[in-house]
Amino acid sequence: MKYAPLLLLLTVAVLVALPWLVSGSMLNAAVQMLIAALFAMAFGLLCGQAGLLSFGHAAYFGVGAFAAVHAMNAFGGEGLLPTPLLPLVGGATGLVSGLLAGYFSTKRTGVYFAMITLALAELLHALAPHLKTVFGGEAGVSSFRMPAWGIGFGSLNDVYFLTLVWTLLCIGLLYLFSKTPLGRLALGLRENAHRLRFLGYNTHALGTLIFAVSAMFAGVAGALQSMNIEAANYVVLESHISTAVVLNSFIGGVRVFLGPAIGGAVMTFFGHVTSDLTRVWLLYQGIIFVLVMMFLPRGIVGELVERLRSPGSEGFAGTLGTTLMRLASLAVAAFGGVFLVEFLQRFLSAEYRAGVQEGIWPNITLFSHDWAPLSVLPWGFGFGLFGLGIALVVMVNRRVAARKEAQA
C-alpha cells in the first residue's frame, strides 16, 4: 500500500483538472458523484465503522438540504453566511438532528436500531408535505446562488469547485476522525459493544456521538445538493434515497475507508450514463447489487484492497492476470445478457406491438443491426454469448484452482 498517497494525489489532481477535461454534461455528473460520495462516506462512518445499519439517512440529508436553501434565501449570500459557507448550515442542522435522533435510536442495536432510524425518517417524510411553509409543498422551496467572495457561482465550474472543495475537506475530516480515540472506539462498538461497556465506556453516548457526526456529514452533502440544484423538495426525504445510500455503500465496500465514496460515485455515474440509454437501467442496477453481494461480499473496493494486500501464492502479476481474464469473460457474458434484456424489452414494448400487423413481425434494430424476432438468430446470439462468457469464467476458475492444488 505504499503507493496509496501517490494514487490519492493523482486522483485529486485529476479531479481539479476535470472541468478542462470533460464536457458540461459529464461535469454535471461529477458534481452529483461527489455529493453521492460524501453522503455514502457519512453513512459508511455509521454503518461500516460503528456497525450501526441506518435505514433512514435520507432524513439528515434532507434536513441539511432544506436548511441550506432557507439560509440561502435568508442571507442572500452575504453577511455572516456567504454562499461558499452555506454547507456549514447543513452540517449544523444535521448535527443537531443527529444528536436528537441518535439519542433515541442508539438505545437499541441491530434490527431494532434500523427500525427506529427508518421510523424517524418516515415520520419526517410523512410530516413534510403538511408543513408548506418549511418544506414548500409539492413544488418545493427554490433559491438562487448569489455571488460571494468575487466568485459568481452562476456557472457549473464554480459549483463543481465548491462541491469538490467541500467533499474533499469532509472526506479528509472523516479520515482524521477515524484516527481519533472516538473514531477508534467506533470500531470497538462494531466488534464487541458488551466488552466496551465492561471496560467502562458509555456505549450509548458513544453511539449517539458517532450517529451525530455521521448525520452532520450527511447534512453537508444535502446542503451541497440543494446548492447545486438551487432548490429543495420533500422528495429528498423519500425512503428510496435512504435505500440508495445503503446499496451504494455496500457495492463499494462499507468497511474500507474510501469504499462507500467509490460505490456512491460509480453507481451515480452508472445511473447518469445508462438512464438515457435504456429504459431498464434500474434492472441492471439491481443485478449489479445482487452479483456484488453474492460474489464480492466485501464490496468492489473491499475485494480489491484484499486482493492487493494478500496476492496469495500467484504473486501480484498472477493475480492481476487471472482477474483480467475473469473480467474479460464476464464482459462477454454481460454483453450477451444485456443483449437479451434489451431485445426482450424492445420486443415486448407497446411501440413494437403497435407496428405488428397481421402476423408480420418487423425487424428490431439493436446495436445498429436488424434482427428478425422470430428467427433463432438474435436469441441464439444472446444466449450463446451469455453461455460462452459463463463457461469462460468457470474455465478460468478451474485453472486457478488446479494451479493452487498443484502448488499445495
Partner 1 sequence: MGFQKFARGTVAMALVMGAAAAAQAEPLKIALVETLSGPQASTGLLYRDAVKYQIGKINEAGGFGGEPVELLEFDNQGGPVGAADRVRAAISEGADVILQGSSSAVAGQVTEDVRKHNLRNAGDEVLYINLGGEAMELTGSKCHYYHFRTSPNAAIRVNTLLDGMNEAGVLGDNVYAMNQNYSWGVDVQDNTVAASDRLGFTVVEQTLHDVNKIQDFSPYVQRVQAAGADTVITGNWSNDLLLLMKAASGAGLDVRFGTAFLDQPGNIGNAGSVAEGHFLSAPFNPEVNPEETAAFMEDYKSVTGHYPSYVEPTTVFGMMLLQAALEEVEPTEDGLNAADLAVALENATAETPMGTIAMRGADHQAILPMIVQEVSKDAQYKADDTELGFVPIKVISAADAEQPVQDSCEMKRPG
Residue 233 in the binding site for partner 1 (CB under 8 A): yes
Task: Give the range of 2-10, 24-32, 67-75, 210-218 binding partner 1 by CB under 8 A.
Answer: 24-32
Q: Which of 29, 38, 53, 206 binds partner 1 (CB under 8 A)?
A: 29
The DSSP line for 85-125 is GTHHHHHHHHHHHHHHHHHHHTTS-HHHHHHHHHHHHHHHH
- Exposure pattern of 322-344 as b/e (b: 16+ CB <10 Å)? beebeeebbebbbbbbbbbbbbe
Q: Does 108 bind partner 1 (CB under 8 A)?
A: no
Among 110, 154, 362, 387, binds partner 1 (CB under 8 A): 154
Which one among 99, 187, 235, 288 touches partner 1, defined by CB under 8 A?
235
| Residue closer to partner 1, measured from CB, 238 or 314 | 238
351 binds partner 1 (CB under 8 A): yes
| Residues 156-195, interacting with partner 1 (CB under 8 A) | 156
Give strand pairing partners of 151: 148
Phi, psi of 148 (to 5 degrees): -155, 150
Q: Considering only residues 225, 248, 249, 329, which one is a binding residue for partner 1 as defined by CB under 8 A?
A: 225
Q: Should residue 228 be labelled a site residue for partner 1 when binding is judged by CB under 8 A?
A: yes
CA pair distance 112, 336, nearest whole angstrom: 42
Please give the grid coordinates belonging to residue 2. Answer: 505504499
User: H helices of 106-202, where?
Assistant: 110-127, 132-135, 156-179, 181-191, 193-198
Q: With 0-12 CB in 10 A as exposed, 13-18 as middle and 19+ as buried, what is 180?
A: exposed
Q: What are phi and psi of 357, to 5 degrees?
A: -135, 125
Q: Is 271 in the site for partner 1 (CB under 8 A)?
A: yes
Among 4, 11, 21, 24, binds partner 1 (CB under 8 A): 24
Q: Are strands 141-142 and 369-371 parallel, antiparallel or unpaired?
A: unpaired
Q: Write each residue from 280 to 319 as x if it is in contact with partner 1 (CB under 8 A), else as -, in one continuous string.
A: xxx-------------------------------------
Give dist(CA 310, CA 377) in Å, integer.
Answer: 45
What minimum distance in Å lies between the beta carbon of 230 and partner 1?
6
Q: How far is the CB of 208 from partner 1 (least distance, A)?
A: 30
- Residues 37/220, Cβ–Cβ less than 8 Å: no
Return the number of the residue (2 or 353) whose C-beta is nearest partner 1. 353
Residues contributing to the site for partner 1 (CB under 8 A): 23-25, 28-29, 32, 126, 129-130, 132, 136-140, 142, 144, 154, 156, 225, 228-231, 233, 235-236, 238, 271-272, 275-276, 279-282, 350-351, 353-355
